[in-house]
Amino acid sequence: MLDAYRRHRQLATLLPAKVIRNVEDTVAALAPEGLTISAYLQACLRHPALFCQAPTTLARNVRAVCDSFAASGLIPADYVKACLRHPQLFSLRAERVVNNVEHVASAFQSSHVAREQYLEACLAHPQLFGYSPSRIIGGVADVTRRFEKVGLSPEAYVQACMARPSVLCFKPSTLSANVEKLLRHFAADGLTEAAYIRACIRRPELLTLRPETLTTNVESLLARFPPDCLPRRRYLAACVRRPQLFLQRPETLAAAVTSVVSRFASVGLTLEGYLGACLRLPPLFSLRPTTVIRHVELAAALYLADLLGLPTGPPYAPWAPLFDFLNRHPEVYSFSDDNLRLRERYAQIVRPRPSTALLRLSRAQIEQAVAEWGKASPPRS
């Protein structure tokens, strides 16, 4: 509380009873919208001017905004929560907040963003309610103008901002600098501006994170494996295809890979082979090792039952032919349990000629074949 007095000196001119009454009357006025005394006190300590402001004014500010956007689905309790997260909103005149939202939502209509969608973005990041339209609209224009030569369109960027509204809170110069610094770091590794911007549109938080964090994530993972097993250029290409790899902790990704390889190393899975599969199918880097291990065991059951038409491996790597196939068709590692069990059932009832087609056919094809077999089979007596 002493800090609040230091930050807002007008507090010292008010009697304690007046401060207390201001708080209690504001809470009473907005109690139907879910405002509680403890939550509001925390907001006042963050924005001490609230201690001094008339409760009727604050309640009117909140209710007028809610009334203006009631038809767009704004729930008063949600707006009060937004005000608690960004307490300055209690003090902002409703006309200003409504004008800010209306102008930005109108500008974003050409990018197929409805007012309701922009309101959701504001609720996720309440400071957006208070930002001027020129700041938001101008920021979008600055970023798209900077990267339009590599294919960034206003619509794509606005949609990315709706997926991650915090992007709108950053200065365009900060976002551009983040991109440029990361690209300089990987300039010799084939990462182009166009490819990275495409990755940013899919994972917009890449624009806002410190480039040092992202480069450290990549470099730390690369350092954990031999370069011939995980080439820099191929891994960066995988990151572009699966942008969340830029974001994930390198120790987590490395542990996922090594857990799978160590589990099956004695039967023929090599680090180089499995990393090659991950590079072909980048989401494989992120799959839980327990999931991948279970899927391999289900596929191995088909292999050991001679349903895949693959040869037997040498004594020191008996499942090597299976892993050669899986590493060339890494999507099988990610098949669901019931998908693999469906293929086993298909092999048991249809009895096709042993072939890797059992794993290469789509699930829809397998299901259709099982259904057709059921129709053609004579009913049991």
pLDDT, tens only, 152-199: 999 999 999 999 999 999 999 999 999 999 999 999 999 999 999 999
Strand, coil or helix: what is 230? coil
What pLDDT is attached to residue 3? 54
Q: Which residues contact 365 (CB under 8 A, 6 or more apart)?
A: none
What is the CA angle 140-146-149, rounded to 5? 120
Number of Cβ within 10 Å of residue 114's Cβ equals 13
What pLDDT is attached to residue 17? 85
Residue 115 lies in a domain: no
What pLDDT is attached to residue 15? 58
What pLDDT is attached to residue 378? 58
What pLDDT is attached to residue 156? 97
Question: Is 205's pLDDT higher than 70?
Answer: yes
Q: Quick one: average pLDDT of 214-242?
A: 97
Lowest mean pLDDT among 134-138, 289-293, 365-369, 372-376: 372-376
Q: Quick one: average pLDDT of 250-257?
A: 97
Residue 372 lies in a domain: no
Rg of the Cα trace of the chain?
29
pLDDT band at 352 (very low <50, low <70, confident <90, very high): confident
DSSP, residue by residue, 6-26: HH-GGGGGS-HHHHHHHHHHH
What pLDDT is attached to residue 372? 82
pLDDT digits (tens, 9 = 90+) for 24-60: 999 999 999 999 999 999 999 899 889 888 999 999 9
What pLDDT is attached to residue 53? 87
Question: Is 5's pLDDT higher than 90?
Answer: no
Residue 38 lies in a domain: yes
Q: How many helices (H) and strands (E) does the chain have?
A: 23, 0
Number of Cβ within 10 Å of residue 69's Cβ equals 22
Question: Is 238's pLDDT higher than 60?
Answer: yes
Give the range of the structural domain holding residue 85, as residue numbers without chain letter. Answer: 1-92
Lowest mean pLDDT among 18-27, 78-87, 237-246: 18-27
pLDDT band at 4 (very low <50, low <70, confident <90, very high): very low
Residue 31 lies in a domain: yes
Q: Which residues contact 235 (CB under 8 A, 6 or more apart)?
A: 218, 221, 222, 279
Question: Is 381's pLDDT higher than 50?
Answer: no
Question: Is 68's pLDDT higher than 70?
Answer: yes
pLDDT band at 227 (very low <50, low <70, confident <90, very high): very high
Residue 200 lies in a domain: no
Residue 110 lies in a domain: no
pLDDT, greater one: 14 or 77: 77
pLDDT, greater one: 28 or 1: 28
Residue 48 lies in a domain: yes
Q: Whole-angstrom Cα distance, residue 341 to residue 271?
A: 27
Q: Whole-angstrom Cα distance, residue 43 to residue 84?
A: 6
Torsion from C-alpha of 275, 279, 285, 286, nearest 10 degrees:
-170
What pLDDT is attached to residue 379? 54
Spatial contact of 172 and 146, defined as CB atoms under 8 Å apart: yes
Residue 13 lies in a domain: yes
What pLDDT is attached to residue 371? 84
Token pair recorded at residue 140: 């979008």
What pLDDT is attached to residue 2? 46
What pLDDT is attached to residue 16? 74
Number of Cβ within 10 Å of residue 233's Cβ equals 12
Number of domains in the chain: 1
The whole-chain average pLDDT of the chain stands at: 93
What pLDDT is attached to residue 351? 83
Q: Quick one: average pLDDT of 89-115?
A: 96
Q: Quick one: average pLDDT of 217-239?
A: 97
